[in-house]
Amino acid sequence: MYYIIFIFIIALDQFTKYWAIKYLKGNEPLVIIENFLEFNYVENFGAAFGILQNKRVFFVLITLIVIVLILFFLKRNIYCLNKGIKISLVMLIAGAIGNLIDRIRFGYVIDFISVKFKNGYEFPVFNIADSFIVISTILIVYMILFDKYEI
């Protein structure tokens, strides 16, 4: 089951990024919900929220280190962790690999989901991999804070 989740997340991420390149790159944003949600092609040479621009080698190395550390942690603790934490860690790794593929292939990460709020705040443009990274991180923090990560 974990392998299926892992492959599904990476495939979904890469498919949607392929779609973004094919249909959004060089075109006007595609409005889904007026003044709230649109698909807008962006090449992100930095990290979340556009920080640390043009640090490709740094991001590739950090991502590889984090993936190896999570895999090592999973291997050492596989029998004492509950299904929720295992799935969350798989989601985190898959999201990281989805963005790692972009950094290696293109030198940047393809983002395309743009959310705007009525007060004028525009959330930074993101992608499917980013979504899984954020969701899994929230789940992991919740399980650790409330001691719900062990069997």
Give the start-to-end residue ranges of the domains of the chain. 2-145
Q: Decide if 130 is catalytic.
A: yes
Per residue in 38-47, pLDDT (tens digit) is 999 999 998 7
The set of long-range contacts for 123-128, using a CB threshold of 8 Å and a minimum separation of 24, is: 124/48, 124/49, 124/50, 125/40, 125/42, 125/44, 127/13, 127/16, 127/17, 127/20, 127/98, 127/99, 128/9, 128/12, 128/13, 128/16, 128/17, 128/95, 128/98
Residue 57's CB is within 10 A of a number of other CB atoms, namely 9
Per residue in 81-124, pLDDT (tens digit) is 999 999 999 999 999 999 999 999 999 999 999 999 988 899 99
Q: Decide if 147 is catalytic.
A: no
